[in-house]
Amino acid sequence: MKDARYLVGRSLTWFVIGVAVFTGVLATLPVPEAAEGPARGVPEETFAVVDVTAFDGEAFRQGWDVWVEDGRIRHAGQRLDLPEDLPRVDGRGHTLIPGLIDGHVHSFLSTLGDALRFGVTTVLDQSTDPAFAAAMRPEREEVARGTQADLFSAGMTATAPEGHGTQYGMPVETLTGPDEAAQWVRARKAEDSDWIKIIYEDGSAFGMEIASLEGETVAAVIAAAHAEGLAAVVHVSTLETALEAMTFGADGLVHVWRDEVVSEVDARRFAEADIFVVPTLSVMVSADDPAVAELVRDTDDAMLSPIQRQTLDGRFPGGLGEGGDVAMENVRRLRAAGVRLIAGTDAPNPGTGAGISMHGELRLLARAGMGSAEALAAATSVAADAFGVAERGRIAEGHLADLVLVRGDLEEDVSRSHDIVGIWKDGYLVDRAVGSAGAGFQPEIAPAPAETLVADFEDGFEASFGAWDVTTDQLTGGSSTADVAVRDGALVVTGEIAPGAAFPWAGVIWMPGAQPMQPVDFSGREAIRFRTRGDGRQYSVMLIGSAEPAGPPPTVTFIAPEEWTQVEIRLEDFPTATPEVIAGLAFVAEGPVGSFSFEVDEVEVR
Amino acid sequence: MTGGAATASAGASMLARDAHRLTPARRFRIYLLEARFQFVEVLREPMFAIPTLAFPLIFYLFFGVIMGARGVSLAVPTYVLATYGVFGVLGPALFGFGAGLANERDTGVLLLKQTTPMPAGAYLFAKVMAALIFGAVVVAALFLMAAHAAGVALYRWQWFALAGVLLAGVIPFCALGLAIGAWARGRSAVAVVNLVFLPMAMLSGLWLPIYMFPDVMQDIALALPAYHHAQLALKVIAMDAGQPVPMHLAVLAAETLAFLAVAALGFRRADSFSMRRIR
């Protein structure tokens, strides 16, 4: 019995030692460095970021505590008397900035979610589908967990028939003269437009001829907007139109111009008129600028959504030409004259991506001579003040707790802004993973219009509903090319299939919805019918449905023979469960490698 | 033989009566000593100790530290830390119970132990404890390797929660081992355990993340206890597939009960065999 007791004692001792060693091992394992990454366990809603370098919207403040309560900033300052039990985030070595405000975006689909995942908590949209804006606006009033940036939007844009802004497939009521201005602005006010956006663009700066509003109509719309208590901003692309817009009383210009360097005298006139400028260097300096490539290289590829990747890789058809240096010099001179400048990206235009490009814009503004505080102010408080966006753009008492914690010292180097430790929106932590946030707006499936004829190309590139666009495998990393033109009342598609993509394609896509890639329900229709002729090669009709497919889309092939032939493809022949839901129909060449040429005419969904 | 059997059964019933009179202190001592002896026994069995301790560590070294170091992100070493942790707990439980029990039954050690006043519970308790201790050693070694060789850093609560979740896995896995041990004969038990152990580990996504598999294999995983246990472990580090915790717990509980039922049936069958042999 003595042996047994002895063994019992020893066993217990060893057991206790074992448990102690195990616990000891667990207790000494490394933990993430302070605020390494808000994963789980990082506080939200009510908490404090302590001992952080804060940019409050105007200047950097060392050693600040920022106290968030119920999603708003309760107090911010040095060494606050914080309650003992308040959850804390150690901000040492990091910089806390207000959520970024992108001063020039166009919103659709998931762009609002993508923006938020990159620290852009508010976007100032310079025209989108009014229905989209109406659907998204209510969310900005809620202090609650969300997955999208808050949207403030001009809604529909003022432009001439066939003018810039009408080509995107969104509904646009155009203006033909100044007498329509008051009526038009009232309609925007009824749609809850937050301000008025006017296009004053004849394409001359880009070697194009585009129908434009007359100067007197622009002036009339600005006056009408002011009469309704709305601000008015103008899209310009030349110094001449910029000066005109200023004399018409515009509140802001939403691009810098690339045609001519502004004189110091004129720069001072802009300053005296107290007009603000959103230069949108992200598009005005060529998309091939190394800044963009650098930023993308600095970003974890897994952080980019398919749409961000697609638009970042995109290029304006034919390019924008020279002028990037002029745009940059104009920003320098406007800044020197004291003109209010606002950071804005014009995302998701070709070469930009929602959210991510804001960090590129900060780099470009810094290159134009702005210090860190100035560039960040342009991306926060200055933008908020210019567009009358309340409770945002500052770390100040009562403001929404839209906060971005950035690794390292932003004051020293603003190009670190993309290195985000954590984002809080309305005090709630933002999940930065693609898909978790950023699922964003799923457009509702729209009903099909009554008409069956999509396009007969008698009056050019127009579709009777929806819009046409070029599509190639460059979306997936390929290098095939396609050109489209309308000749003799038919759509002529030429191009070359080049190796490089897993599934090469090039051709043209028709998107039936009011927004790009919005699915339309064609229930009751039976077939797609069109006329075609070409080089005798085999072509494909791809059906892009409502959900993003994992592989290549369902496809039916046809031959484009030498003589005009009618092709009819029954919807049920597409290998998919829901062929009647169509977000896009692509008429494309696929392999083999080589050049191709075909024509399409009288496209119908019947 | 008839007389011997009668004496033996008379003795057994007397001992059984004694067992009812065990004081809590004596009961505790028996449980503890049986656990100690069994632990020392498996410790001295290199065929058991080396693979169950070394395999998860070697796998982690390869997939977590060496392969994982190629990526910039710590996602892979962190992910496989949880899944090899499951693997590490699964091994001792299956082998200790499945192979160990079958072996002890074959060699008559189990029968011998049944004739002693030791409550049956002490035997099972000892086996679970041995699995638990081996599992804890594997988990601790994995954690140290992940932290210091792969650079994995977790919040303090995550380290503890992950260890807790992993070790709790001995319950369903021991039940599974018990079911196997109750049915398989000594020699074949090791083979059966391996047939369950290795495919289940792979199909549950313990070696490679489950999302790399085709859909069919992912569907199969839904039936496996190791999958649900791994998902719970991954939940601690926010890398799970996003299925609800109660679902995982419910499946694990149901399967544990099913394994125990299968084991009970197996013992009933085995008892009738051994009684026949004695007669």
What's the Cα-to-Cα distance from A366 to each of A98, A99, A335, rounded to whole Å?
Answer: 18, 19, 11
* Radius of gyration for chain A, computed over Cα atoms and rounded to the nearest angstrom: 28
Residue contact B155–A31, C-beta within 8 A:
yes
CA distance A232 to A218: 10
Residue contact B140–A21, C-beta within 8 A:
yes
| pLDDT single digits (tens) A147-161 | 899 999 999 999 999
Pick the residue of A29, A297, A301 with the most B CBs within 10 A to test the interface with B by mutation: A29
Q: Name beta bridge partners: A529.
A: A568, A604
| B234 in reach of chain A (CB within 8 A) | no
Helix (H, G, I), strand (E, B) or coil at A155: coil
Burial class (CB in 10 A: 0-12, 13-18, 19+), B188: middle
Give the pLDDT of residue B7: 42
Q: Beta strand pairing status for A100-105 and A538-544?
A: unpaired
Task: Please name which of A484, A455, A471 lies closest in space to residue A599, comparing C-alpha atoms.
Answer: A484
* Phi, psi dihedral angles at A508 (to 5 degrees): -135, 145
CA distance A46 to A126: 34
Tokens of residue A601, six digits: 């005419």
Q: Mean pLDDT throughout A101-128?
A: 92
Which residue's structure tokens are 């023979």?
A561
Which stretches in chain B have pLDDT values below 50? 1-14, 70-72, 278-279
Q: Mean pLDDT throughout A21-41?
A: 68
| A12 in reach of chain B (CB within 8 A) | yes
- Contact yes or no for A563/A536 (Cβ under 8 A): no
Q: Name beta bridge partners: A564.
A: none
Ranked by mean pLDDT, which of A368-377, A519-528, B173-182 comes out on top? A368-377
Residue contact A8–B32, C-beta within 8 A:
yes
**Nearest residue of A to residue B162 by CA position?**
A26
CA distance A514 to A516: 7
Question: Higher-confidence residue: A188 or B198?
Answer: A188
Q: Where are the alpha helices (DSSP H) in A108-154?
A: 111-117, 130-136
Q: Nearest CA to CA, how far is B137 from chain A (Å)?
A: 8
What does chain A come to in residues? Answer: 606
Pick the residue of A26, A36, A429 with the most B CBs within 10 A to test the interface with B by mutation: A26
Pick the residue of B32, B39, B142, B167 with the most A CBs within 10 A to test the interface with A by mutation: B32
Tell whether ipTM is more than 0.85.
no
Q: Nearest CA to CA, how far is A15 from chain B (Å)?
A: 9
Q: Nearest CA to CA, how far is A134 from chain B (Å)?
A: 32
Task: Please name which of A37, A99, A14, A90 lies closest in space to residue A394, comparing C-alpha atoms.
Answer: A99
Give the pLDDT of residue B268: 83
Tokens of residue A175, six digits: 């203006």
CA distance A176 to B55: 78
Give the pLDDT of residue A301: 77
CA distance A78 to A66: 9
Query: What are the residues whose beta carbons fall under 8 Å from the beta carbon of B104, sequence distance 6 or more?
Result: B110, B113
| B216 in reach of chain A (CB within 8 A) | no
* Phi, psi dihedral angles at A500 (to 5 degrees): 140, -30
Q: Of the candidates A8, A22, A31, which has its C-beta nearest B154's C-beta?
A: A31
State what percent of residues in chain A have pLDDT above 90.
52
Give the pLDDT of residue A397: 94
Distance of CA A413 to the CA centre of its chain: 25
Give the pLDDT of residue A165: 85
Helix (H, G, I), strand (E, B) or coil at A65: strand
Tokens of residue A65, six digits: 């505590």
Q: Mean pLDDT throughout A326-344?
A: 96
Helix (H, G, I), strand (E, B) or coil at A445: coil
CA distance A394 to A376: 11
Question: Higher-confidence residue: A45 or A441?
Answer: A45
Residue A184 has pLDDT above 80, yes or no: yes
Question: Higher-confidence residue: A455 or B242?
Answer: A455
**A118's torsion region: left (phi>0), alpha (psi -120 to 50) or beta?**
alpha
Give the pLDDT of residue B53: 84
* Radius of gyration for chain B, computed over Cα atoms and rounded to the nearest angstrom: 21
Q: Mean pLDDT throughout A527-546?
A: 88
Query: What are the residues whose beta carbons fall under 8 Å from the beta carbon of B32, sequence distance 6 or more?
Result: A8, A11, A12
With both helix axes pointing from N to C terminus, report the angle between A181-190 and A215-227 in degrees, rounded to the nearest 10. 50
Q: Nearest CA to CA, how far is B266 from chain A (Å)?
A: 32
- Contact yes or no for A480/A473 (Cβ under 8 A): yes
CA distance A573 to A435: 32
For residue A348, whether the previous peptide bond is cis, meaning omega lies within 30 degrees of 0, is yes
Least confident of A31-40, A117-126, B177-186: A31-40
Least confident of A195-199, A349-353, B63-67, B142-146: B63-67
Least confident of A137-141, A241-245, A481-485, B42-46: B42-46
Give the pLDDT of residue A179: 95
Assessment of whether the complete model's pTM goes beyond 0.80: no
Q: Of the candidates B33, B153, B158, which has its C-beta nearest A4's C-beta?
A: B33
Domain ranges of chain B: 2-278
What's the Cα-to-Cα distance from A289 to each of A286, A322, A335, A390, A476, rounded to whole Å?
Answer: 5, 12, 21, 34, 21
Which residue's structure tokens are 């807790």?
B164
Q: Of the candidates B72, B133, B143, which has its C-beta nearest A25's C-beta?
A: B143
Chain B residues within 8 A of A18 when measuring between CB atoms:
133, 136
Chain B residues within 8 A of A7 when measuring between CB atoms:
33, 36
Q: What is the DSSP string of A225-241?
A: HHHTT--EEEE--SHHH
**Nearest residue of A to residue B40 by CA position?**
A11
State what percent of residues in chain A have pLDDT above 70.
92
Q: Beta strand pairing status for A527-534 and A581-582?
A: unpaired
Q: What is the DSSP string of A281-304?
A: HHHHS-TTSHHHHHHHHHS-GGGS
HSE-CB of A299 using CA atoms within 13 angstroms: 29
CA distance A353 to A434: 14
* Phi, psi dihedral angles at A151 (to 5 degrees): -105, 125
Give the pLDDT of residue A432: 83
**Nearest residue of A to residue B28 by CA position?**
A8
Q: Beta strand pairing status for A150-153 and A252-253?
A: unpaired
